[in-house]
Structure 1
């Protein structure tokens, strides 16, 4: 593969490093180990990634079998080239910070299109969602640990929990600053798209 391995391709190679398996078994392992918390995975994308890895010689089919009326299932194994590619890509991901563009950052960049009080209200709503997400991630992580899954296999979940907790702290502080008046853009540069009043304020003023 000339392009860097996608997160899903790396996931497939990592699973096959534990032993040969077919894509259906990969799907089960993804659910069991919560890999879908770290990588965006769909049924179709998984099979497409397997096909691309096979075409690139990073994995190879070992056998194809059929049980009853079920579709054929091909068992794949990782090749030496696949192991090397997985290790190289993993080292890149750990060593080099990637430039990412989260949607929340986009919202913050253009925040002055809305009035301060509305932004504060929206941020308070976001804290509720973040608190629920944080509780859910913690519960899932504790459940997997209780099942006997080693901590090193759940480091991506630990990082996710840390990110959500960090965002929650940031959002709470930002909402506090807006509500107290420590942060404002009322006296800033004007824009053709002036901050609109929240719809409920408009109704109350009429």
Structure 2
């Protein structure tokens, strides 16, 4: 059975499969590779992940090193169990769709809490932000300078972002034209207390 590795856990194991590293080097490498496009990277969460993986014996302390006058740092390396867990978890995640509960879907489900003009403005703002990301990723792809992002990941991010932009534009157009009717505000529920109606 696959270890329930977090996204950051997968990233840490993948880094250590390349070579042993200390915690700060992992952080710097993830930053240099723009890993924040695909995983949330924070110093505290990374060091917590390293400790958890060590406790699970998927990685181990390999050595202690010092760089100049800097404090001594623990260097970690992946274990055979870590290599196996990494491959198993990646295989599982690629093969099996799961509901990841994105926040944007929650917001869409409740978008009728905005007035139509505010909703359309919010959708337009999201389109502008996503288009900037598409332009940046396209430029990196065309110049061959997307650091650390494999071509398959970059193409996937571009494809899903472009698809979202297309859908958002259609959604905003439908709201503007009235093709999608805006739900009427729900009437307050009434409950009966001693035979009289009370609004809640």
Structure 2: 5+ residue runs without aligned partners?
A: 189-200
Choose which of 164, 168, 173 in structure 2 pairs with 1:167.
164
Structure 1: 5+ residue runs without aligned partners?
A: 194-206
Native 8 Å contact 2:7 2:39 kept in 1? yes
- CA separation in 2, counterparts of 1:36 and 1:95? 23
Question: Aligned to 1:89, what secondary structure does the other structure show?
Answer: helix
Q: Deviations over 1:45-90 (max 9, x none)?
A: 1122111111111111111022343121111111110001001100
- CA separation in 2, counterparts of 1:24 and 1:142? 31
Equivalent residue number for residue 77 of structure 2: 77
Q: Deviations over 1:100-145 (max 9, x none)?
A: 22222112212222332332232222221221222223334445x2
Native 8 Å contact 2:61 2:75 kept in 1? yes
- CA separation in 2, counterparts of 1:192 and 1:137? 46
| Mean Cα deviation higher: 9-18 or 110-119 | 110-119
Equivalent residue number for residue 45 of structure 1: 45
Report the number of matched residues: 188
Equivalent residue number for residue 152 of structure 2: 155
- Give the structure with the larger strand fraction: 2
- CA separation in 1, counterparts of 2:36 and 2:112? 35
What is the Cα deviation at residue 37 of structure 1?
A: 1.5
Native 8 Å contact 2:34 2:148 kept in 1? no
> Structure 2 vs 1, CA of residues 95 and 10 (structure 1 numbering), >3 Å: closer, same or farther?
same
Equivalent residue number for residue 24 of structure 2: 24
> Structure 2 vs 1, CA of residues 110 and 92 (structure 1 numbering), >3 Å: closer, same or farther?
same
Native 8 Å contact 1:38 1:157 kept in 2? no
The Cα RMSD (Å) is: 2.4
Q: TM-score, normalized by length of structure 2? A: 0.83
> Structure 2 vs 1, CA of residues 90 and 3 (structure 1 numbering), >3 Å: closer, same or farther?
closer
> Structure 2 vs 1, CA of residues 192 and 137 (structure 1 numbering), >3 Å: closer, same or farther?
farther
1:191 aligns with 2:186: yes
Question: Aligned to 2:77, what secondary structure does the other structure show?
Answer: strand
